[in-house]
């Protein structure tokens, strides 16, 4: 064992039971070439034998991976992902229960309404059937929770991804990040993939030869596409997804706000929509 190889060992100067120190050494250490680490570990009294060395290495690497995962889950983009998914869940369940409330109320009241607003009215009606009113209150509470989560998303998205949030709007930006799995993952995706995020079922059907290629996924809700003529929506979706992909990369790798992206997108969409009047 040479002195230089001993200096590069991940376990150098570490107590075998200190997993935090082992994690730091594994994540930050490097070596120019592999060496006989088990033998070195035994000779330096870090491990009793080769099996003990591998047990210690296993514990250290599992601990490092677990802590990295915990830190990743606490990252701002992951919190944004959880927020938008929770908001969508609350909205979906609130609407489903509102339909149930309307159907139930319709069996008892000739003037029964429909939708979340009617559930809110019923929740405050002292003369309503107690069980029906309790269900209506669930709808009201879920709707209020969804609104609170939307406020959280609208506040957090510009902090996590300022360029993406400006181009897409906070809610759509959060949905794209959630669908990709995080800002890092979104930043690595090509524009064509960003364009069809959220349209996976239609894309798989197309790949099986059962449907045409989807022109867009969740970005369909963007004003640039909604305000375009049907025949121009494919072009608008390509232009939008291209700028969104760039914005995600800028947000992830530098975080610098680039207003020129907004201007470039607006100019491109204006030219696409200008075909309608030509």
Cα–Cα distance for residue pair 233/216, rounded to 1 Å: 9
Number of neighbours of residue 96 by Cβ within 10 angstroms: 12
Q: Does residue 221 lie in a domain region?
A: yes
Cα–Cα distance for residue pair 168/216, rounded to 1 Å: 14
Same domain, 129 and 181: no
Spacing of C-alpha 95 from chain mean position: 23
Same domain, 145 and 59: no
Q: Does residue 25 lie in a domain region?
A: no
Report the share of the chain in percent with pLDDT over 90. Answer: 59
* 141 to 94, 121, 145, 146: CA distances (angstroms): 8, 13, 6, 9
The answer, yes or no, to whether residue 112 has pLDDT greater than 80, is yes
Under the banding of pLDDT at 50, 70 and 90, the label for residue 43 is: confident
- Angle among Cα 230, 170, 85 to the nearest 5 degrees reads 95
Among residues 111, 142, 159, the one where a domain terminates is 159
The mean-pLDDT minimum among 39-43, 158-162, 166-170, 199-203 falls in: 199-203
Same domain, 209 and 220: yes
**Segments forming the whole domain that contains residue 134:** 77-159
Among residues 51, 74, 97, the one where a domain terminates is 74
Q: What is the pLDDT of residues 145-173, one digit of tens each?
A: 999 999 999 999 999 999 999 999 999 99
> Quick one: average pLDDT of 34-61?
87
Q: Does residue 233 lie in a domain region?
A: yes
> Quick one: average pLDDT of 125-142?
95
Same domain, 168 and 275: yes
pLDDT for the residue 12: 82
The mean-pLDDT minimum among 134-138, 181-185, 208-212 falls in: 208-212
What count of Cα atoms within 13 Å lies in the side-chain half-sphere of residue 254? 8
Q: Does residue 13 lie in a domain region?
A: no
Under the banding of pLDDT at 50, 70 and 90, the label for residue 203 is: low
The mean-pLDDT minimum among 6-10, 26-30, 120-124, 166-170 falls in: 6-10
Among all chains, which residue has been given the structure tokens 């969409």? Answer: 269
pLDDT for the residue 4: 47
Same domain, 166 and 130: no
Same domain, 131 and 229: no
pLDDT for the residue 277: 47
Among residues 74, 98, 124, the one where a domain terminates is 74
- As given in the structure block, the two tokens for residue 71 are 């830190």
Q: What is the pLDDT of residues 238-256, one digit of tens each?
A: 999 999 999 999 999 998 9
pLDDT for the residue 2: 42
Same domain, 131 and 240: no
Same domain, 166 and 270: yes
> Per the structure, how many domains does the chain have?
3
Same domain, 128 and 233: no
- As given in the structure block, the two tokens for residue 196 are 């069809």
Do 63 and 23 contact (CB within 8 A), yes or no? yes
Same domain, 145 and 172: no
pLDDT for the residue 211: 66
Same domain, 133 and 168: no
Mean pLDDT of the chain: 88
Q: Does residue 15 lie in a domain region?
A: no
Q: Does residue 115 lie in a domain region?
A: yes
Same domain, 137 and 151: yes
Q: What is the DSSP letter of 34?
A: -
SS3 content of the chain, % helix, strand, coil (to 5): 75, 0, 25
Under the banding of pLDDT at 50, 70 and 90, the label for residue 14 is: confident
Q: What is the pLDDT of residues 220-242, one digit of tens each?
A: 999 999 999 999 999 999 999 99
């Amino acid at each position: 064992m040479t002195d230089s190889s001993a200096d590069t060992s991940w376990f150098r100067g570490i107590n075998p039971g200190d997993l935090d120190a082992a994690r730091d050494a594994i994540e930050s250490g490097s070596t120019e070439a592999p060496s006989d680490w088990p033998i070195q570990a035994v000779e330096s009294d870090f491990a009793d034998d080769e099996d003990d060395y591998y047990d210690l290495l296993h514990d250290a690497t599992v601990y490092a991976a677990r802590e990295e995962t915990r830190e990743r889950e606490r990252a701002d983009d992951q919190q944004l992902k959880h927020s938008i998914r929770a908001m969508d869940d609350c909205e979906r369940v609130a609407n489903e229960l509102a339909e149930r409330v309307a159907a139930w109320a319709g069996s008892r009241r000739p003037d029964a309404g429909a939708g979340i607003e009617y559930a809110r009215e019923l929740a405050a009606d002292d003369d309503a059937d107690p069980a029906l009113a309790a269900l209506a209150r669930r709808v009201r509470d879920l709707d209020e929770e969804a609104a609170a989560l939307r406020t959280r998303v609208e506040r957090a998205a510009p902090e996590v991804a300022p360029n993406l949030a400006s181009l897409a709007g906070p809610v759509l930006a959060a949905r794209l990040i959630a669908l990709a799995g995080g800002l890092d993952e979104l930043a690595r995706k090509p524009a064509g993939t960003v364009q069809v995020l959220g349209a996976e079922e239609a894309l798989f059907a197309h790949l099986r030869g059962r449907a045409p290629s989807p022109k867009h996924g969740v970005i369909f809700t963007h004003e640039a596409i909604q305000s375009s003529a049907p025949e121009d929506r494919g072009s608008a979706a390509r232009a939008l997804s291209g700028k969104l992909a760039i914005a995600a990369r800028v947000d992830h790798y530098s975080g610098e706000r680039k207003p020129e992206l907004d201007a470039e997108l607006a100019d491109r969409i204006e030219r696409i929509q200008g075909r309608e009047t030509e």
